[in-house]
Structure 1
Amino acid sequence: MVNSEGARRREQRRGPVLRRHGQMQQGTTDQHLLDTRGTADWVHEDPFRVLRIQSEFVEGFGALAELPPAISVFGSARTRRDSPEYEAAVAIGRGLVEAGFAVITGGGPGAMEAANKGAMEAGGVSVGLGIELPFEQGINPYVNLGVDFRYFFVRKTMFVKYASGFVVLPGGLGTLDELFEALTLVQTKKVTRFPIVLFGSAYWGGLVSWIEETLVAQGKVSAHDLQLFHLTDDVEEAIGLVTKEAGA
């Protein structure tokens, strides 16, 4: 039998982490902090990333905690300014502010810019939650409260936590990602009273048909799940649906 003193020599505890045998490290945490200079590689390692993630949550919560009731508006960064979609997004942003809501977008160009423009021109709170990307512009000029994030999952938490519902305009993979995450959260009752409105039947109609004719038909989701969202082409109806269910 190994005595307790011998066992202690073969294990190492650093906070909540236990190391034994070949996983043991030389020195102590304080020693590494105070005595070693070395390279800056540690700022790219996972334990330090946890602190960055924590700081992003803290910054986001701090910036958004005092928002009035808000609606997140999603859509393509590639939506052209001379397109009907852009004008619809401006009208939606304006209408949401007039209904008493702040507007939250991804802070980028296209449909996001349009919704922020409508919100700012209506004198409301126009929020942009940006993301660090190698190929996309920064926060658009119609945002009056902006937060930039490194991590998608932190940003996505803010979209849901500080919004009472989603309006989803035509968009690409990022828009689909947000849409299906929201649908999943509502379906699994992680969030309640969270209306989701798809704007543009010509664009979303094929997706809705696929959900109905494939997912529901094969029993992958229930017919009741079709009630998790609304589809409309009317700006006023979109605003009415999302604000009424959100409890304005």
Structure 2
Amino acid sequence: MQTMPAHAAHHDDREIETLDDFDATVSARGTLAGFRVQAVDLTDRTRELLATDTAGAIFLGCPMRDDAAAKVRADGAMVFPPVPNLPFDPYRGLLYSPDELFAGLGKGYEETLDARAYAWFQQTKADGDIFASMLRSIHDDAVSDALDELLRGTRVVGVMGGHAMARGTEAYAGAARLGRELTRSGLTVATGGGPGAMEAANLGAYAAPYNDEMLTEALQLLAKAPKFTPSITDWAAAAFEVRAHWPKGGTSVGIPTWFYGHEPPNPFASHIAKYFANATREDGLLARSNAGIVFLPGAAGTVQEIFDNATPNYYESRGEPTPMVLVDRAHWTERLPTWPLLTALARERSMESRIALVDRIEEAPAALKRLGG
């Protein structure tokens, strides 16, 4: 089973994203010249900053004392100070964790970082504030950078599906078993990071290191809060109860957005790349699913994702198109007849060998493997 570190230093990239990275670089290199230091609190590293060459360095959102800031500027470094009164850090160097986004849940979801960031987004979007839109862009670029670093060298399989799939249903349990099997096969599961089918797949990845009975018990615990309405607090609390019972879950990625901030991120993705811009989030999720994508039954959003992925596949000329597996024949041929159009597009580019339609979710892993995923 493939695992991902919470963070891996990339000194060859000259990026410093944690205090441990900072200390290791100063100790080993004796210089910070040309480095990029990203969202690291340096208020207790004044002595090191005063004694170390920082020529050409860039400090992005790093708190530091006035004398240290004056010295590094005199060296020729660029200092982008932290932005006060924000519920998020636009210069962050790492992805979010569930604990970070849901901190304060005991006082109600409205007190969490996730809810406060959404409220800020709603307010500043309505105001049309150019400074706020710039901060959102910086944040999303930082998240993309952190996501690329995390997934470097990994084989990622996307699992797409509707947010309406409720806990306690067989469909939800099937999606969870799918995420577990894909993770156990060595793939990294990536989802849209929200509720429903997305949460189920992240839950399955979380359950992968445990025996099969763990998932059965977890599904029973979650069923007491089937949906995130009417109470996100109760819905999230049930997930954290599962995490408390089984604290050493497997890794996976969730890529949600505050654009749809009324839908909370699910707490089972170990790494959460949350964006303000939905278009950046959608494109990034699909583009990073290099081992293929499984599309579970969904509505408009899932249909959009199918064709967002089919389009670059259609025009791909340098490599192999991404394998695509659609689950539930009746759904994709009768209720939302997406499969006939996808098949027609595939036929024009001789891509039939890269797409598959299966009746049951249990067939998806074998179909994905058969397509080369």
Superposition TM-score, scaled by structure 1 size: 0.70
- Cα displacement (A) at 1:69: 1.1
CA contact (8 A) 2:259 2:278 kept: no
- Cα displacement (A) at 1:227: 4.9
Distance 1:107 1:81 in 2: 15
Cα 1:241–1:224, aligned 2, differ >3 Å: closer, same or farther?
same
Q: Does 1:125 align with 2:251?
A: yes
CA RMSD of aligned residues (A): 2.9
- Cα displacement (A) at 1:224: 4.3
Letter of the 2:281 counterpart: R
Moved over 6 A (4+): none
Letter of the 1:93 counterpart: G
Deviations 1:53-73 (A, max 9, x none): 53343233234335x312100
Q: Does 1:149 align with 2:279?
A: no
Distance 1:200 1:220 in 2: 19
Deviations 1:225-244 (A, max 9, x none): 55542110233421012134
Q: Which residue matches 1:172? A: 299
CA contact (8 A) 1:106 1:128 kept: yes
SS in 2 for 1:72: strand
- Cα displacement (A) at 1:222: 3.1
Gaps of 5+ in 1: 1-39
Q: Which residue matches 2:22? A: none
Match for residue 116 of structure 1 among 199, 202, 205: 202
SS in 1 for 2:371: helix
Distance 1:246 1:210 in 2: 22
Letter of the 2:294 counterpart: V
Cα 1:211–1:149, aligned 2, differ >3 Å: closer, same or farther?
same
Instruction: Please give the residue correspondences for 1:21-170 in structure 2 after superposition, counting only pairs within 5 Å.
Output: 41-44=129-132, 51-65=138-152, 68-123=154-209, 124-134=250-260, 136-163=262-289, 164-170=291-297
Letter of the 1:178 counterpart: E
Distance 1:49 1:125 in 2: 27
Letter of the 2:258 counterpart: E
Superposition TM-score, scaled by structure 2 size: 0.48
Distance 1:134 1:211 in 2: 28
Identity of aligned residues (%): 28
Distance 2:145 2:349 in 1: 39
SS in 1 for 2:256: strand
Q: Does 1:186 align with 2:274?
A: no
Letter of the 2:371 counterpart: E
CA contact (8 A) 1:86 1:110 kept: yes
- Cα displacement (A) at 1:89: 0.6
- Cα displacement (A) at 1:131: 0.6
CA contact (8 A) 2:346 2:352 kept: no
Instruction: Compare relative contact order (CA 8 Å, sep 6+) and give the higher one, 1 or 2.
Output: 1
- Cα displacement (A) at 1:138: 2.2
Gaps of 5+ in 2: 1-127, 210-249
CA contact (8 A) 1:183 1:228 kept: no
SS in 2 for 1:194: coil
Deviations 1:128-157 (A, max 9, x none): 111113553322121111110111232123
Q: Which residue matches 1:230? A: 356
Question: Is the deviation greater in 187-196 or in 159-168?
Answer: 187-196
Larger strand percent: 1
Distance 1:76 1:166 in 2: 14
CA contact (8 A) 1:193 1:246 kept: no
Counting matched residue pairs gives 202
CA contact (8 A) 2:160 2:197 kept: yes
